[in-house]
């Protein structure tokens, strides 16, 4: 006698458990020397600020080092040498979160953030919950 076949169920979507908390980070990812942007990112910035695309490109981006693309502008930072111009220096949060570039939307690209893991490790070993490693 054959066993009745079970109905095949559709895969149940497993929620991704995020292993980091950006609210506890000083914005390491915002201090990359180059934060590349695409045409669509510049258009999003233009719409966010209510300016023409060419104006947004001039005000908020600059050529990449290889001159083949554009990147977000940086300015001096109170914690690191420089950071994205849109990083709030006191709150350590993105001031254009809704209009942030695609590369920022995708970061870190997986369920863990290496910067956050590093930060937690350093704070634990320094026995200082506010410690910020600058290396």
DSSP state of 23: G
Name the more confident of 1 and 130. Answer: 130
Report the predicted TM-score, pTM, of the whole model to 2 decimal places: 0.76
DSSP, res 109: S
DSSP-based three-state secondary structure for 106:
helix
Q: What pLDDT sits at residue 24?
A: 82
Which of 19-33, 45-59, 63-77, 82-96 bottoms out in mean pLDDT, i.e. has the lowest? Answer: 19-33
Give me the residue spans of the domains in the chain: 29-106
> What confidence category does residue 73 fall into, taking pLDDT thresholds of 50, 70 and 90?
very high
């Amino acid at each position: 006698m054959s066993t009745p076949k079970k109905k095949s169920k559709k895969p149940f979507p497993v929620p991704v458990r995020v292993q980091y908390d950006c609210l506890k980070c000083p914005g390491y990812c915002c201090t990359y020397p180059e934060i590349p942007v695409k045409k669509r990112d510049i258009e999003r910035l233009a719409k966010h600020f209510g300016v023409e695309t060419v104006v947004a490109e001039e005000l908020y981006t600059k050529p990449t080092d290889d001159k083949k693309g554009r990147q977000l502008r940086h300015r001096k930072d109170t914690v690191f040498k420089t950071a994205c111009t849109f990083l709030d220096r006191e709150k350590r949060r993105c001031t254009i979160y809704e209009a942030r570039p695609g590369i920022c939307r995708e970061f870190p690209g997986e369920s863990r953030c290496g910067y956050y893991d590093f930060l937690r490790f350093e704070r634990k070993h320094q026995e200082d919950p506010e410690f910020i490693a600058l290396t």
